[in-house]
Amino acid sequence: MARRTLKADSGGKTALAAGDSPAAQPRAACATRDRRLAEAARCGWRNLRATLGLAASRKRRTALSIPNQITLGRLALTCGFFVLLSLYSPQHADRERWMLATAFWVFLLAALSDAVDGWLARTWGQVTSFGRVVDPVVDKVMICGAFVFFASSKFQDPASGGNLTGVAPWMAVLILLRELLVSAMRAFSEAHGERFAANWAGKIKMFVQSLTVCFVLGVQVWPRPTLARISLALVWLTVVVTLLSIGTYLQQARAFMFTRTALGDFSARAPAGPARQIEDPAAHAGSRSAGPVPGARV
């Protein structure tokens, strides 16, 4: 029997060796087709793996870090905190006291998460632009919203008409003014390439304000004379710390906000050179048309 062998040419085609019978040609064609299908399958699998790997890497790049996820979680807790304060009514304090108790624990959890996400971001080296922008915004919304509610009729005594929290409307306005002023200074400094991070006064202010909110809510839920006096003292301490923090941030922003150029002195940008005398064209033309000056050398 003649020996049948398959030879692959340079183009990938299979040729019959000498002595092969015509019946072996279909088998050779099938072998060529199977080999091409296997090669196409391998190439397709490699392309599929590369595509999946690219998608996974993009997903990893666009995924939020854990500190940023905690920040967004604190924003959700803040929204729930405001909903509870909005539903509370002082006319039904005994029946709806559980709302304030729930709001107390929700705010406490949100305040603790503020310390956790910052510590994780610095420890893990995950300080991002998203976190630097969103984290202070969430803090401001949480604190300012709480003091606005405390100064509103939601915490007004139905019998006497006085405020139950000790927070006056002007105190809430002062806190809002401080937060807006610091946010404006931070935006100005970032736009001019200056780093404007939170200093020690801002961190102490945030701690005192959070502690004040917890005590104010705690007095409404668990009324005690001692807690009421501590709560009132913390309210006034919040006012003092807020004013001090404004001064420290103004001192920090003095280097780039209170320069001559920033205050509108545009002449400081270009130093004045030697004054150039402006010639009068009419006088210049008259001097050309005039005759020789008497006594002048012609």
Neighbours of 262 (CB within 10 A): 13
Please give the Cα distance from 215 to 234 (Å, whole number): 8
* Owning domain of residue 81: 63-262
How many domains is the chain built from?
A: 1
pTM of full prediction above 0.75 = no
In a domain, 114, yes or no: yes
pLDDT at position 278 is 46
Q: What secondary structure, in 3-state letters, does 137-193 show?
A: HHHHHHHHHHHHHHCCHHHECCCCCCECCCCCHHHHHHHHHHHHHHHHHHHHHHHCC
Give the three-class secondary structure for 18.
coil
pLDDT reported for residue 232? 94
Residue 173 lies in a domain: yes
First to last CA, the chain: 130
C-alpha closest to that of 242 among 181, 175, 147: 175
Question: Helix, strand, coil shares of the chain as percentages rounded to 5?
Answer: 70, 5, 30
Tell me if 2 is assigned to some domain.
Answer: no
pLDDT at position 28, please? 65
**Per the domain annotation, does 286 fall within a domain?**
no
Distance CA 133, CA 193 (A): 15
CA 111/CA 120 separation, integer angstroms: 15
Question: Shortest CA distance to 142 belongs to which of 71, 219, 50?
Answer: 71
pLDDT of residue 11: 46
Give the C-alpha separation, 205 to 176, whole Å. Answer: 13
CATH number at residue 114: 1.20.120.1760
Q: How high is the pLDDT of residue 170?
A: 95
Residue type, 281: P
Q: What is the pLDDT along the chain (298 residues), one digit of tens a residue?
A: 444 444 444 444 444 444 455 555 666 666 676 676 666 666 666 665 555 554 444 444 557 889 999 999 999 999 999 999 999 988 887 888 999 999 999 999 999 998 898 889 888 888 887 888 888 889 999 999 999 999 998 898 888 888 889 999 999 999 999 989 888 887 777 777 766 666 788 889 999 999 999 999 999 999 899 999 999 999 999 999 999 988 888 877 776 666 666 666 656 555 554 544 445 555 454 544 444 545 444 3
Q: Cβ–Cβ contacts within 10 Å for residue 256, how many? A: 16
45 within some domain: no
Provide the pLDDT for residue 56: 47
Beta bridge mates, 156? 163
Q: Is residue 247 part of a domain?
A: yes
Q: What angle do CA 280, 284, 289 make, to 5 degrees?
A: 150
The tokens describing 147, both together, are: 């003091």
In a domain, 15, yes or no: no
In a domain, 40, yes or no: no
Tokens of 21: 């019978």
